[in-house]
Amino acid sequence: MSFTKFGASILAGGMMLAAPALAQNTMVGGAEMLPERNIVENAVNSADHTTLVAAVQAAGLAETLSGEGPFTVFAPTNAAFEALPAGTVESLLEPENLETLQTILTCHVVAMEAFSPAVGDLIAAGGGSAELETVGGCTLTASIRESDNALLITDENGTEAVVNIPDVDQSNGVIHVIDAVLTPAAS
């Protein structure tokens, strides 16, 4: 199956999903996100994602996320990282915690291009929720909050992230900006 920037079809959970054609470029962290740039090229320009970019670089994942994809990235903001317990980010950035950092970051990445309408279709087909398998081996649960129709992503620990900016088109996938850091199940 070939993937094109607009109108791409993807297969997820046995369903074909279509990416919508987007009318304008999205602004994230004060920067225009250009659909001809890849995930990393756009993320480095967002003032709201400097912690995420530093973590991706420290984890050695920048090259992967600059690759062909397709990827769907649930991208926590700086404020999401700041909400973690004091010292967590600094600890994760230490070389001896590289594997843990890589696991946490890859638990924010799904190996397909899933714009919010496609995720919504999966949720509807799942009777109100849909499981998304990440490249980090985590299972995220997508759902819709009825009170305001917000797209929610919940990790294996029950941490719920709200998608604040959906459908940020990238040359190698899509970014959904979220307000929490997702983590794998505690072992």
Are 73 and 161 in contact by the 8 Å Cβ rule? The answer is: no
Are 160 and 180 in contact by the 8 Å Cβ rule? The answer is: yes
* Structural domain boundaries, residue 104: 26-178
Q: Judge whether 130 lies within some domain.
A: yes
pTM: 0.85
Q: What is the pLDDT of residue 1?
A: 23
Q: What is the pLDDT of residue 3?
A: 24
The enclosing H or E element of 109 equals: strand 109-110
Q: What is the pLDDT of residue 180?
A: 98
What is the domain-level CATH number for residue 116?
2.30.180.10
> Distances from the Cα of 124 to the Cαs of 46, 143, 167, 170, in angstroms?
32, 9, 18, 25
Q: How many domains does the chain have?
A: 1
Q: Judge whether 16 lies within some domain.
A: no
Provide the residue-wise pLDDT of the chain in tens; the chain has 187 residues.
222 222 232 333 433 344 444 446 788 878 788 789 999 998 999 999 999 999 999 999 999 999 999 999 999 999 999 999 999 999 999 999 999 999 999 999 999 999 999 999 999 999 999 999 999 999 999 999 999 999 999 999 999 999 999 999 999 999 999 999 999 997 5
Q: Return the closest-CA partner of residue 136 out of 77, 31, 59, 68.
A: 59
Q: Judge whether 99 lies within some domain.
A: yes
Q: Judge whether 77 lies within some domain.
A: yes
Which residues have a Cβ under 8 Å from the Cβ of 99 and sit 6 or more positions away?
Answer: none
SS3 for 6-19, per residue? Answer: CCCEEEECCEEEEC
Q: Judge whether 122 lies within some domain.
A: yes
Q: What is the pLDDT of residue 77?
A: 96
Q: Extract the tokens encoding 149.
A: 């129709």
Give the whole-angstrom CA distance, residue 10 versus residue 7.
10
> Distances from the Cα of 171 to the Cαs of 55, 65, 96, 101, 175, in angstroms?
21, 11, 33, 25, 11
Q: Judge whether 103 lies within some domain.
A: yes
Q: Judge whether 74 lies within some domain.
A: yes
Q: Judge whether 156 lies within some domain.
A: yes
